[in-house]
């Protein structure tokens, strides 16, 4: 009596549709772009009706917000990994590089994380805490670099500055506003910009 859909669905209730949707979404994200990721397409890919998704996520924003949250977690991890064993003086450079490299490897995800999608709505506490933790990692690194306590105003300012700079650089490149010369590696490019800042403060 299965007049229902023609989809092959061995398991009717998957049980963990949520994670299936999320990983399908993550897979499609880089192909499709941050704005064009649709609930329907994701559901289709999993082999489920699109309204099924609305039983696990309040709306598209929440789905995509979880993706962004995972992005921040991943970013924090990468930063921590790359920082491990780095000598003090190199910490800022290494972190900047890891950050920039992460952004270049996952442009759509990065655009999502810092895009206009969540600027108004304060919901998705998961996203907010993941963000906070990623920034925390940054502050930790800067604190060690400066040999100061992480709660210091100086550390906070320096972390803000470093984050702004690297995020700005990544954002400009990802959005094709600035195009780094083809013959130059990401590493060189980040160094160029850091050097640029140094020369601003030299005078």
Partner DNA sequence: GAAAGAATCTTTACAGTGATAAGTTTGGTG
Partner DNA sequence: CACCAAACTTATCACTGTAAAGATTCTTTC
**Binding to DNA (CB under 7 A): which residues in 34-73?**
37-41, 48-52, 54-56, 59-61
The first and second tokens of residue 30, run together, are 């880089």
Q: Rule CB under 8 A: is residue 106 a binding residue for a copy of itself?
A: no
CA atoms lying within 13 Å on the CB side of residue 87: 2
CA pair distance 80, 120, nearest whole angstrom: 30
Q: At what angle do helices 39-46 and 60-83 cross, to 10 degrees?
A: 80
123 binds, among DNA, a copy of itself, none (CB under 5 to 8 A by kind): none
Among residues 7, 132, 175, 188, which is the contact residue for DNA, using CB under 7 A? Answer: 7
Helices (H), 106-185: 107-113, 125-146, 153-174
Please check whether residue 94 is in contact with residue 82, taking contact to mean a CB–CB distance below 8 angstroms: yes
How near is the Cβ of 19 to DNA at its closest, in Å?
11
Binding site for a copy of itself (CB under 8 A): 33-35, 89, 92, 111, 114-120, 122, 131, 135, 142, 145-146, 154, 156-169, 171-172, 174-178, 192-201, 203
Binding site for DNA (CB under 7 A): 1-5, 7, 9, 11-15, 17, 37-41, 48-52, 54-56, 59-61
């Amino acid at each position: 009596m299965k007049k229902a859909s023609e989809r092959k669905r061995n398991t009717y209730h998957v049980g963990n549709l949520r994670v299936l949707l999320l990983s399908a979404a993550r897979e499609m994200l880089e192909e499709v772009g941050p704005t064009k990721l649709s609930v329907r397409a994701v559901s289709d890919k999993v082999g489920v009706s699109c309204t099924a998704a609305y039983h696990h996520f309040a709306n598209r924003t929440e789905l995509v917000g979880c993706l962004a949250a995972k992005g921040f977690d991943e970013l924090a991890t990468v930063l921590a990994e790359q920082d491990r064993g780095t000598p003090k003086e190199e910490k800022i450079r290494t972190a900047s590089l890891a950050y920039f490299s992460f952004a270049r490897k996952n442009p759509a995800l990065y655009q999502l994380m810092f895009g206009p999608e969540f600027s108004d709505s304060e919901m998705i506490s998961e996203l907010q805490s993941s963000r906070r933790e990623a920034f925390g990692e940054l502050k930790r690194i800067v604190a060690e670099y400066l040999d100061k306590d992480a709660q210091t105003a100086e550390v906070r300012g320096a972390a803000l500055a470093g984050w702004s700079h690297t995020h700005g650089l990544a954002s400009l490149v990802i959005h094709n506003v600035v195009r780094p010369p083809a013959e130059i590696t990401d590493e060189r490019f980040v160094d160029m910009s850091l050097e640029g800042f140094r020369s601003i403060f030299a005078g």
